[in-house]
Copies of this chain bind each other. A is one copy, B any other.
Amino acid sequence: MADDMPANEQTWGGERFRRTPSWMIGQLSVHGYRLLTEQFAAEGTKPYEYRVLASLADGGPASQATLGRRSGIHLSDLVATLNTLADRGHIRRDPDPADRRRNIITLTDDGFDHLARLDIRLAAAQDALLAALAPTDRITLTDLLKRALDGLNARPGR
């Protein structure tokens, strides 16, 4: 009856698309995001919040518009993220005296300390994601991912 045999169809996996890079990358992306979210949640933090803190630490204080472009977070979403981070004292939002449209966003000492904890969580998520791979394979994979991605970002794309 074509419906009986395979005993375990939950993990069937025979479809052709499951062997394609795009499918496997998509599945790994879901796992990666879940692992990351779980790790950050243990610190009471969401991925957007981490990205903002990391952008401030790596790129220095900036206006919201600049911060959005650097971190890849849309300005509208950034507003809510910054509200949360400001409430927790991880950032300061000061008016720019030189341009009254802008806020200057600055990482506080508390934010810097929190970021250090999040970086440990981030590393744990990477480790869980690539648990099946030996260290040298992880390096190889990271290099290949970087090259593939740089190639796509270099091209106009469309």
Q: What is the interface of chain A, defined by CB distance below 8 A to chain B?
A: 1-3, 9-12, 14-17, 19-22, 24-29, 31-33, 35-36, 38, 50-51, 54-55, 57-63, 66, 69-71, 98, 102, 104, 119, 122, 125-126, 129-133, 137-138, 140-142, 144-153, 155, 158
Give complex CA distance A122, B131 in Å. 29
- Quick one: which of B16, B60, B126 contacts A20, CB cutoff 8 A? B126
A6 to chain B, nearest CB (A): 8
How many copies make up the complex? 2
Judged by DSSP, the binding face of A is: helix
A30 to chain B, nearest CB (A): 8
A123 to chain B, nearest CB (A): 9
Instruction: Report whether A122 and B17 are in contact in the complex, using a CB–CB cutoff of 8 Å.
Output: yes
Task: Please indicate the chain B residues that have their CB under 8 angstroms from the CB of A50 in the complex.
Answer: 17
- Quick one: which of B20, B28, B38 contacts A25, CB cutoff 8 A? B28
Task: Please indicate the chain B residues that have their CB under 8 angstroms from the CB of A38 in the complex.
Answer: 158
